[in-house]
Structure 1
Amino acid sequence: MEPVPDHCPGTQSESAGKVSACQGCPNQSICSSGSTKAVDPGIEQVKSHLGNVKYKLLVLSGKGGVGKSTFTNLLGRVLAKANENCDIAILDLDICGPSMPRMMGLLNEQVHQSASGWSPVFLEENLSVMSIGFLLNSPDDAVIWRGPKKNTMIRQFLSEVDWGNDLDYLIIDTPPGTSDEHLSLVQYLKGLPQIGAVIVTTPQEVSLLDVRKEIDFCRKVNIPILGVVENMAIFICPKCAKPSEVFPKDSGGAEKMCKELDVPFLGSVPVDPLVTRHCDEGTSPIDSASPCVNAVQSIVQKIQEKCSTLS
């Protein structure tokens, strides 16, 4: 008897909808029916809608608090400024903790729905943002949803947002972990070309343990890993320029882990209070003389190079 998988077996598997990993999935009944005609129609809707998006980048983290949304914010801003002829979009899929509206300086913005779908909020002419935060009455409102409702919202975000032009990069900021949102996202993106994952971690072992699970998740669902970013690696004193470790690298940090797991290491990003202040205020730090921004710019160049190898 084959062992029961500890992850989604896939819609084409004979075990689809029938194993313990399928419990609680909103599509369990569809998968277990065995009917190819019962496949979620949203998959085709997403495939058609995102057909003109060149690169789909998933920003992932094994645990919360590692600066994933901050990195997504900087990634989008750097790409948009460095490539003025490219159209960049950020999709905030952290349903219960949307951070993009505040970080991008769009806290009081709202989206509007038309015949062509939801209109995202444009920060720059070539940089747009979509988040559930734009749909809430107040930034303090809690989103208290079960899996099926989250799944529906993710499908709508992927298939009903009118980005305006053909996108060069769609950057998807995901919640931490490997749960409902991630499975729904992978299911809807399945079959689309040029998808890659950027995984963000901090140096200490408690974070690296969870990132190993994120790497395992990507491999099991066949998402190419562009690389790992080590965030908050050091703190550089703005007065004396002396570097200090914020988190201990007792196990060698992210770079050593990447060598062990044969995953690309994209680089380390230092802590910078100036960038934190910009994120809180919703302003752009990328024109500042910040070691954090310099590190991110170098990492973005590597991400662009690796995107060109995606099939």
Structure 2
Amino acid sequence: MSSASQHYRLNDDLLGPVLAILDDFQDPYLAKGLVSAGLVTKLDIEGTRLQLGLCYPYPCQSQYRDTVMAVTKRLATLDAIEEVECEIDFQVAAVSAIANVDPLPNIKQVIAVASGKGGVGKSTTSVNLALALASEGARVGILDADIYGPSIPIMLGVTDFKPVSPDGKMMTAATAHGITAQSIGFMLNDEEAAVWRGPMAAGALAQLINETSWPELDYLVIDMPPGTGDIQLTLSQKVPVSGAVVVTTPQDIALADAKKGVNMFQKVHIPVLGIVENMSFHQCSECGHKEHPFGQQGGAKMAERYNVPLLGELPLQLNIREDVDKGAPTVVSDSDSHVANIYRDIARKVGAQLALVQAQPAVSISISDDE
């Protein structure tokens, strides 16, 4: 699965036992052993010191220390090994689900974050997912594709940014909290509305993507507008999307619309990487009691129905909203919190799911304009 080259220099008597131990160690996000998943890139030995190299196809640097400790402990059971020196790297392959769309310059993978209806926390999920991927070691950008209601400038605290075009062809993007951001909101004055028909909005999205001077990125997260209209179809026709994340709440009306989003992506052969359920529960800060004001298990049942992962369940919590309103989302403003850890877990799952779909062939699709 990993695209990194392999270098093994152990004698046959030692190689077999070492590979067996490494493959017995299951990666929790790929559900495979380290060898079966193609993560082992180097095995060398100097005296009794084993040199081990691992290269992950998804960002997970917060897990490196635990992995090294667990693997070292297991390898130390072999008499020939007294010390383990482990180097861990991360390398993302270029992945597109759409074969007849050219890749975007400098961008390896594109993640669409969508919902069937508004008000379910899609933009909050998008920005925290982007920041969580970055905190795990990836180079990340975010595109605010909600042409009619751009919110990423506020959520990232860069409302004063205005793109410029030094060469008259490409626009600059903002930088906030270590990620790159572009939004139609940067080009509108305060309280100014983008009053466009569907094709105009879809054209604006294509322009934002193709005429932004993106740096080298492992992931571009696209915060989609709600619904399944022109902008979504433009995305599937003209952007090399790698996979989609669908956001919902547990209530029936949100689930009904989220199912339409899943069906849309399946129709255009874009893999659904999983479901994120927002506002899953409210936990009393005094006694810890959990309540489910919008219902229970909706996201889990939806994920089971469509045979996709439930990526995470996020609580209905005041500070999540307050953090984005202040321009410092929870992943950066309260990085050690339980909520930030949920977002990082979602990020690792999304990255791993993208790695797992690499082996699947991209699909050529064509959608007529009147469809």
Deviation digits for residues 161-210 of structure 1 (CA, Å, limit 9, x no counterpart): 001x3210000000011001101111102xx3x61000000001111111
Mean Cα displacement is larger for which, 256-265 or 212-221? 256-265
1:54-69 equivalent positions in 2, closer than 5 A: 54-69=108-123
Matched, 1:282 2:327: yes
Aligned to 2:250: 203
Q: What is the CA-CA distance between 1:80 and the residue it aligns to?
A: 1.4
Matched, 1:78 2:132: yes
The code of the aligned residue for 2:303 comes to: C
Q: Tell me, what secondary structure is at the counterpart of 2:257?
A: helix
For residue 315 of structure 2, the aligned residue among 243, 258, 270 is: 270
Q: What is the CA-CA distance between 1:233 and the residue it aligns to?
A: 0.1
Matched, 1:221 2:263: no
Give the alignment's TM-score, normalised by structure 2. Answer: 0.66
- Are the counterparts in 1 of residues 117 and 258 from structure 2 also a CA contact under 8 Å? yes
1:151-170 equivalent positions in 2, closer than 5 A: 151-163=202-214, 165-170=215-220
Aligned to 2:354: 307
Q: Tell me, what secondary structure is at the counterpart of 1:223?
A: coil
Find the structure with the greater CA-based Rg.
Answer: 2
Q: What is the CA-CA distance between 1:308 and the residue it aligns to?
A: 1.2
Matched, 1:137 2:184: no
Q: Tell me, what secondary structure is at the counterpart of 1:240?
A: coil
- Are the counterparts in 2 of residues 272 and 290 from structure 1 also a CA contact under 8 Å? no
Aligned to 1:40: none
CA distance in 2, matches of 1:185, 1:296: 25
The alignment yields a C-alpha RMSD, in angstroms, of 1.9
Q: Percent identity?
A: 38
Matched, 1:98 2:150: yes
CA distance in 2, matches of 1:196, 1:270: 25
Deviation digits for residues 196-255 of structure 1 (CA, Å, limit 9, x no counterpart): 000000001111111111111011001001001111101122232222112123xx4110
- Are the counterparts in 2 of residues 120 and 129 from structure 1 also a CA contact under 8 Å? yes
Give the unaligned 5+ runs of structure 2: 1-97, 359-371
1:39-54 equivalent positions in 2, closer than 5 A: 47=102, 50-54=104-108
Aligned to 1:112: 164
Matched, 1:181 2:231: yes
CA distance in 1, matches of 2:339, 2:119: 17
Matched, 1:122 2:167: no
CA distance in 2, matches of 1:292, 1:270: 8
- Are the counterparts in 2 of residues 272 and 291 from structure 1 also a CA contact under 8 Å? no
Q: What is the CA-CA distance between 1:51 and the residue it aligns to?
A: 4.1
The code of the aligned residue for 1:276 comes to: R
Specify whether residues 243 and 272 from structure 1 end up closer, same or farther in structure 2 by C-alpha distance, changes over 3 A only: same
Q: Tell me, what secondary structure is at the counterpart of 1:271?
A: coil
Q: How many residues align?
A: 257
- Are the counterparts in 1 of residues 114 and 226 from structure 2 also a CA contact under 8 Å? yes
Aligned to 2:301: 256
Q: What is the CA-CA distance between 1:137 and the residue it aligns to?
A: 1.8
Mean Cα displacement is larger for which, 214-223 or 256-265? 256-265
CA distance in 2, matches of 1:291, 1:244: 17
Runs of 4+ in structure 1 displaced over 4 angstroms?
none
CA distance in 2, matches of 1:257, 1:87: 31
CA distance in 1, matches of 2:268, 2:289: 42
Q: What is the CA-CA distance between 1:285 and the residue it aligns to?
A: 2.0
Give the alignment's TM-score, normalised by structure 1. Answer: 0.78
- Are the counterparts in 1 of residues 330 and 339 from structure 2 also a CA contact under 8 Å? no
- Are the counterparts in 2 of residues 57 and 172 from structure 1 also a CA contact under 8 Å? yes
Q: What is the CA-CA distance between 1:272 and the residue it aligns to?
A: 1.7
Q: Tell me, what secondary structure is at the counterpart of 1:296?
A: helix
CA distance in 2, matches of 1:82, 1:267: 17
CA distance in 1, matches of 2:210, 2:102: 8
Give the unaligned 5+ runs of structure 1: 1-42
CA distance in 2, matches of 1:180, 1:299: 28
